[in-house]
Structure 1
């Protein structure tokens, strides 16, 4: 499918972000089952906005991503699983896949927020490296990212994804950031909490896998 025609709804964008994130943070349970994808989509931390998707909505969103060429269904341990195809679909390197994933999960963010939060997904040299890859995503024929000028009291421009179509730049610029920019302590705490949530999800997935393998039939 031509990426100029791709438009994701909120659930599809969230699930794509989850698949991108979990490929890097919990490779032992990736590709994700529907249950694992639901847990990832509904996390209370590292998500903006927080969602409460039921299993049916998650399953539908994953199937829609598959139909659009952004996900692929695979089978393992008698459970259907999904992996993303963002790199191949958009023809972008891992750094840009990671940025799209973060923007899909957490909304508009500054370069420094993206740099701090990308650490568990992909290594960037510095803020300029992040800015370079954002520029590449904006300069495509069908741009995947847009720059949001800083609003009153804000110190940095922010960036938002265009996977769900055009965004209201003025409205986002006027909206307060989800967390203050330039606070590494907050970023470190977020990373620790996210890592713990990922570990719990991975353990739950492993238990479910063992139980499934032991269940006759």
Structure 2
């Protein structure tokens, strides 16, 4: 499967997957319902403002990839469904985690476990991590684990339907500066003693001259 979906296509696909699980009574979605789902402000990052023509263009592209299709089942109004379960063989908990990544961007396993529970029962943290591992090992991989950011204890995961995410480049390492020469403790002590001996010699020389002058005065 081609892994070069656009942001528009990913948002549509994620919304179809989400609404199938959260509101199955209103699924498949009409174009109006899909627009409301794609443009809603909660559980979305980034928040988008898509028109019906945008959605039709995205649905056509997804249809060409076999990931979404139109259906008139249950009425005359055209409605839309995704084909992720059939196309990729993903069960509900896996689709929930993947939809969450498609709708809100990179997240930690703990965040995904908590947020995916609104769609379906995912299980504990270990179960969420197992789902993420399954998505990473899928052929081709659907999720990657991102390098841990500075100051964060947990790594985040990202979906790769738009290709590999851009990772922040590491800045150049600062040039190495030669360390200031350090004097070993023994050398420092020897130098200190030598300074003290020099000072004593000067003082002794001054006393000797004074004694000689006194002897000369009394001679």
Does TM-score exceed 0.5, indicating one fold? yes
Distance 2:92 2:25 in 1: 19
User: RMSD in angstroms over aligned alpha carbons?
Assistant: 1.5
- Alpha-carbon contact 1:25-1:120 (below 8 Å) kept: yes
Aligned partner of 1:167 in structure 2 is 165
1:160-211 superposed Cα distances (whole Å, 9 cap, x missing partner): 000111111337x9xxxxxxxxxxxxxxxxxxxxxxxxxxxxxxxxxxxxxx
- Aligned pair count reads 169
Distance 2:56 2:166 in 1: 29
Distance 1:41 1:100 in 2: 16
Do structure 1's residue 30 and structure 2's residue 27 form an aligned pair? yes
Aligned partner of 1:158 in structure 2 is 156
1:10-64 superposed Cα distances (whole Å, 9 cap, x missing partner): 0000000000110111112110011111110011110001111111001111121
- Alpha-carbon contact 1:34-1:55 (below 8 Å) kept: yes
Aligned partner of 1:81 in structure 2 is 79
The runs of 4+ residues in structure 1 deviating greater than 2 Å are none
Aligned partner of 1:149 in structure 2 is 147
Do structure 1's residue 56 and structure 2's residue 56 form an aligned pair? no
Identify which of 68, 72, 83 aligns with 2:69: 72
Q: What is the SS of the residue equivalent to 1:103? A: helix
Q: Which has the larger radius of gyration?
A: 2
**Contiguous gaps of at least 5 residues in structure 2:** 171-219
TM superposition shift of 1:71: 0.9
Do structure 1's residue 9 and structure 2's residue 10 form an aligned pair? no
Q: What is the SS of the residue equivalent to 2:144? A: strand
TM superposition shift of 1:141: 3.1
Identify which of 8, 11, 18 aligns with 2:15: 18
For normalisation by structure 1, the TM-score amounts to: 0.74
Distance 1:32 1:63 in 2: 15
TM superposition shift of 1:100: 1.2
Distance 1:93 1:45 in 2: 25
TM superposition shift of 1:124: 1.7
Distance 2:152 2:18 in 1: 27
Aligned partner of 1:202 in structure 2 is none
Q: What is the SS of the residue equivalent to 1:38? A: helix
Identify which of 128, 131, 140 aligns with 1:130: 128
- Alpha-carbon contact 2:97-2:113 (below 8 Å) kept: no
For normalisation by structure 2, the TM-score amounts to: 0.73
Do structure 1's residue 97 and structure 2's residue 88 form an aligned pair? no
TM superposition shift of 1:104: 0.5
Q: What is the SS of the residue equivalent to 1:146? A: strand
Q: What is the SS of the residue equivalent to 1:69? A: coil
